[in-house]
Structure 1
Amino acid sequence: MDIFSVITLLGGLAFFLYGMNVMSSGLEKLAGGKLEIVLKKMTSNKFKSLLLGMGITIAIQSSSALTVMLVGLVNSGIMELSQTIGVLMGSNVGTTLTAWILSLSGIEGDNPFLKMLKPESFSPIIALIGVIMIMTAKHNRTKDIGKIMVGFSVLMTGMTLMSGAVSPLADSPQFSHILTAFRNPIMGVLVGAVFTGVIQSSAASVGILQALSLTGQVTYGMAIPIIMGQNIGTCVTALLSSIGVNRSAKRVACVHICFNCIGTLVILPIFYGLYWLLDFAFVGSAIDPAGVALVHTIFNIVTTAMLLPFTKLLEKLAYTLVRDSKKEKEAKEKHAMLDERLLATPAVAIEVCHGVTMEMAELSKTTMKLAINMLFQYDKATEEQIEENENRIDKYEDKLNAYLVRISKHSLSSKDSRTVSKMLHCIGNFERIGDHAVNIMESAHELHEKGLHFSGDAAKELRTLCDALLETLNMAYQAFEKDDLAIAHQVEPLEEVIDTLNLELKNRHIKRLQNEECTVELGYIYQDLLTNIERISDHCSNIAGVLIEIDEQQNIHKYLYKLKENDETFQESYHQYLNHYYLELGQPTLDEVVDA
């Protein structure tokens, strides 16, 4: 084996890792935010968690990516440690599928069907189909499938290059001499762990072992400890991802390490104990790629079956090894809202962002309700709560804006891209609604401090306008939460009603001033309140407008112009809402005016 073979081996490894990365990224985009939703909902039972871990790892072809995702979700406070243990075990079983796919490189025979199963035969065909899909497809989803196919082909090409690079070792006496060191199982475990830890890919490490097995120089006795070591080495990714996270997230990495280490520490002595007693004939036989895949699968299944009943003990062990500090025992840990580790899986990060955005929206809506109640019943504690909520809303906006901008720099599916765009546009409106809630609270504070009171008519009118505002607010927020265009289309008629009511209330206020039923000082406060309410309804219109503009691909200004000019459905909804609130004001409805 000369220097050119080494270069080819390293090049093959590079192809393998790049292909795995492209394929995993494509699969994650295809799965979208469903991963995070499923992880949260289906981890109540350890058997469900096990199957879920297997399924997701098979889907995204990366147990390391799933582990990093779990660390991020626990650090964000979305999942508990107990929910992740079964998923981690399942991911170890799911990752064995990659080894079976790679074992196709060891197929031999002249049968045309068998030849087609070899990577060098079918990889170019898959690559060609993938490239055609990428170049001709109009939809991003089809392009993502094409990228997955190209990534898979690059991965298999890398495997072929590695196999070809190490094939001269079959006749190398020096290589045979080096392999004698691996007759020591402890050395095999260490080499497998270190090498896998360095390249941070158990799939690539197993692939190289399968390539070496094609030389006929690697025996089962050498391969078994190396495979066990590879399972320990893959924990390095989880270990690195746990740097800078809270202790709950560190425990996820701890469980992952304990699971693989305990499996090796228990199974390796048992295997060699039985070998000493029964003298297994196959231990000295040469292993092939399928044999490597089989050993890898058996080890992970046996380890999982052995430790699955003891998930509670694994959890206790993690709490023992990663203990809370004194400060953390006195006070609850504050979870990071948006964990940077989730950026590795943008679809999951987007789902988490949507959840946090809804928390922000609910907080701004609650703050607005508190502010409106302050107008009719002043309370000092409520005033402090509104100010505290507004500060939290500002922090939400800063963190979400920065996080969403970072997500948008990744390659996203068209659906995820639209979701990010909606959130970026809407969080500013949620924040401004919080600001207006503070403005209303300040008006209520001024009324209380100066001992001023609105007249009975003015208070009743203000209550009616606030009822209309809260209905608009609830409708806009519901449209955003459910991403429901039907609800979004109902917001604009209500917003127009608030504008009409606002004008009516201003006219009534002017009459009261002329009749000296209201003071100028009260008039200023009343006008400020009407202005704030009108602007809040405008922000509700903006939220609904963003959904309509992005999903229906139309200019919102042209849409609103056409809507108010000649849309019968809009006019019907507008008159229906207006009649309802006119009745509350004691004003004749439009139907009554027409009849008169």
Structure 2
Amino acid sequence: MKRYLVPVAIAALLLGFWLSPESQEIAAGVAIFLFGMLMLEDGFRLFSGGTLERLLQRATGSTFRAVSFGIVSTTVLQSSSLVSVITISFLSAGLISLLGGVGIIFGANIGTTTGAWLVAGLGLKVNIAAYAMPMIAVSIILVFQKAKPMRGFGYALGGLGFLFLGIYHMKEGFETFRDQIDLLRFALPGILGLVVYTVLGTAATVIMQSSHATMVLILTALAAGQITYENALALAIGANIGTTITAIIGSLSANFQGKRLALAHLIFNALTAAVALVFIAPLRDIVDQISAVMGIAADDFALKLAVFHTVFNVLGVVLMLPLLTRLIAFLERRIVEPTPDVSRPKYLNAAVDAFPQTIESALRNEVLHLYDNAMELILHGLNLHRHEIFETESIARTVSNSRVPTDLDIDESYERRVKTLYSAIVEFTTRVGEKRLAPEINEQVYALRDVASDIVRAVKAVKHLRKNILRYTVRSQGVVTGLYDNLRTEIARIIVEIRKLDLAEPEDRSALWLDHERAQIEEDAQSNTRRIDALIRTGGLTADAATSFLNDSAYAYEAMRALIEAARSVYIERDSAMAEVERLLTLEEDELHEDMTISGTVAEPTAEPERQKGVAEGR
């Protein structure tokens, strides 16, 4: 169906030009205006360098801040549609709350009214085409510069110039059109006019996907005397309803949170429009009073329409804010969060692809989702349970008491809970790698993919361990059971320490224990080899059991190394000042090894409880 829409639209446009050549300038003005909006949006993204996105993350701490951000961002961008799409992307990536997202949408509806003021107060009273031409000419020089801020400013300046030029051509087009055809004969008074023109305003905005463009079209037609003031009010109300189409389209590829926000946008705009239609007469009186106070002439209907547009949008926010918590509750009941499926990605969807900040954050959250699945699978593979390990005061004692085998098909669980997520992460990073992202974002994306690879490596190592864990730890078999219990204890302890990193505040996290732990793992691996040799010589261990243990200890230490490397990449910010100090203070791995060898401090496996205690105390 979609492939026929473009040729049908072009054919309809050409037919309209043939039937009414005077409409060409109006259509060209709309096209130039929309093109200017696209340039302005692209320019702001380049020029701001992600400033808008970073502000959005911090702007949802309270409803007031969220509404204020919506007002300011839409005023600057002159596009509530862009703000809505950005908000849906951030909500889908889990960066902001639903309450904050709805607050931004409320504010965006107020912010979009500034466009009507600019057009009515400046665009229709000044020959803005005289300013548009120099702006476009200068912008062309800037867009060919290498520096992103310069190119961004060039796109923004050119976009503003095209906005002005589009307004000029729409205004001139309606002036010419008035001399040929009088559209006032299609005016409809009363309730019928309200309904019909509200529907027309909605349809026009759905087609153009820009309420700002619709408002400019209405204002220029009103200034040219092609529509009545009453019908213009209805068109403005309809434009507010139609602007929700962008959020609805954007939510189609989003998760349940994005769909909730799109529904909230539709409910808010529809209720605001309904209130405006029901109380149209009192609102007109209020607009007349405000216009008189502001010194707006009684027959300056363009400015009075801007006043009306602001009044009914502010009224809608005032009416809806007290009902915000009820609205959130309704949205959560209406669009229920799907039952979590640990085998499917939670954060990777098409809605987060649009912005670098959401790409990196969504991928990070998905990697943490993968780790959560993997951590549970690793512990179950060792016949341990997460809640017991996290709550115990002595990991070694809990491990020694864990003799009941877990009901686990580790191969099936790996395929379902780990491999599918890892495949989705690889596919996502490959897809976003084709985008023209900043080098630092690309570096973060590929670093997170490597973290996912480390996590999978740890799970595979435990898969190899599973057979002999069942063989030697379900019932005590003397020395060999103690050796396997030490391996289980060490893996569990590292998982507990990583959980502490996760729960700690970012500024409290340190890489020092990770570096020390990695060096200690290497020492333990060598120590185990020497201990096994001694046990074989004294007859404490059979050659068969010793061979199995040496192979399994290699898998265990591989799992520990992979978990530590994953934790380092996820939780330790290497570009911070503290990280730089730690880097200078931390010895290289071979230096640590050399120091430990010289000093003779070799940790034997039997000393694991003491080492565990030292780490727990913040060693």
Q: Which moved more, 1:451-460 or 1:301-310?
A: 451-460
Consecutive unaligned residues of structure 1, counting only runs of 5 or more, are 110-114, 553-562, 588-596
Deviation at 1:193, TM superposition (A): 0.9
Q: What is the aligned counterpart of 2:537 among 514, 538, 547?
A: 514
Percent identity of equivalent pairs: 18
> Over residues 257-297 of structure 1, what are the superposed CA-to-partner deviations in whole Å (9 max), with x where a residue is unaligned?
23222222222332326769999999983533x44433322
Q: What is the aligned counterpart of 1:201 among 210, 216, 220?
A: 210
Partner of 1:401: 426
Partner of 1:13: 30
Deviation at 1:356, TM superposition (A): 2.4
Partner of 2:459: 434
Q: Is 1:172 the counterpart of 2:180 in the alignment?
A: yes
Q: Which moved more, 1:383-392 or 1:505-514?
A: 383-392
Q: Is 1:446 the counterpart of 2:471 in the alignment?
A: yes
Partner of 2:361: 351
Superposition pairs of residues 2-151 of structure 1, within 5 angstroms: 6-27=23-44, 30-31=50-51, 33-34=53-54, 37-38=57-58, 41-42=60-61, 45-58=62-75, 61-68=78-85, 82-103=99-120, 105-106=122-123, 108=125, 118=128, 120-121=130-131, 124-125=134-135, 128=138, 131-132=141-142, 135-137=145-147, 140=148, 143-151=151-159
Q: Secondary structure at the match of 2:301?
A: coil
Q: In structure 2, what is the Cα distance between the partners aligned to 1:344 and 1:538?
A: 35
Is the Cα contact below 8 Å between 1:217 and 1:286 reproduced in 2? no
Is the Cα contact below 8 Å between 1:213 and 1:286 reproduced in 2? no
Partner of 1:265: 274
Q: In structure 1, what is the Cα distance between the partners aligned to 2:79 and 2:55?
A: 13
Deviation at 1:192, TM superposition (A): 0.6
Q: In structure 1, what is the Cα distance between the partners aligned to 2:210 and 2:383?
A: 58
Deviation at 1:202, TM superposition (A): 0.8
Partner of 2:307: 294
| Alpha-carbon distance change, 123 to 513 in structure 1, aligned in 2, over 3 angstroms | farther
Deviation at 1:230, TM superposition (A): 0.5
Give the structure, 1 or 2, with the largest relative contact order (CA under 8 Å, sep 6 or more): 1
- Give the TM-score, by structure 1 length: 0.75
Q: In structure 1, what is the Cα distance between the partners aligned to 2:166 and 2:286?
A: 41
Deviation at 1:438, TM superposition (A): 3.0
| Alpha-carbon distance change, 424 to 569 in structure 1, aligned in 2, over 3 angstroms | closer
Is the Cα contact below 8 Å between 1:231 and 1:260 reproduced in 2? yes
Deviation at 1:493, TM superposition (A): 6.5
| Alpha-carbon distance change, 275 to 425 in structure 1, aligned in 2, over 3 angstroms | closer
Deviation at 1:189, TM superposition (A): 1.1
| Alpha-carbon distance change, 69 to 568 in structure 1, aligned in 2, over 3 angstroms | closer
Q: In structure 2, what is the Cα distance between the partners aligned to 1:478 and 1:276?
A: 58
Q: Secondary structure at the match of 1:135?
A: coil
Deviation at 1:439, TM superposition (A): 2.8
Structure 2 counterpart of 1:285, one-letter code: D
| Alpha-carbon distance change, 286 to 525 in structure 1, aligned in 2, over 3 angstroms | same
| Alpha-carbon distance change, 279 to 71 in structure 1, aligned in 2, over 3 angstroms | closer
Partner of 1:228: 237
Partner of 1:529: 552
Q: In structure 1, what is the Cα distance between the partners aligned to 2:274 and 2:439?
A: 47
Deviation at 1:372, TM superposition (A): 5.7
Structure 1 counterpart of 2:142, one-letter code: I
Q: In structure 2, what is the Cα distance between the partners aligned to 1:160 and 1:583?
A: 81
Q: Secondary structure at the match of 2:312?
A: helix
Superposition pairs of residues 554-569 of structure 1, within 5 angstroms: none
Structure 1 counterpart of 2:371, one-letter code: A
> Over residues 570-591 of structure 1, what are the superposed CA-to-partner deviations in whole Å (9 max), with x where a residue is unaligned?
665556777697255689xxxx
- Give the TM-score, by structure 2 length: 0.72
| Alpha-carbon distance change, 87 to 199 in structure 1, aligned in 2, over 3 angstroms | same
| Alpha-carbon distance change, 218 to 390 in structure 1, aligned in 2, over 3 angstroms | same
Deviation at 1:497, TM superposition (A): 4.5
Q: Is 1:190 the counterpart of 2:213 in the alignment?
A: no
Deviation at 1:203, TM superposition (A): 1.4
Partner of 1:556: none
Deviation at 1:67, TM superposition (A): 3.5
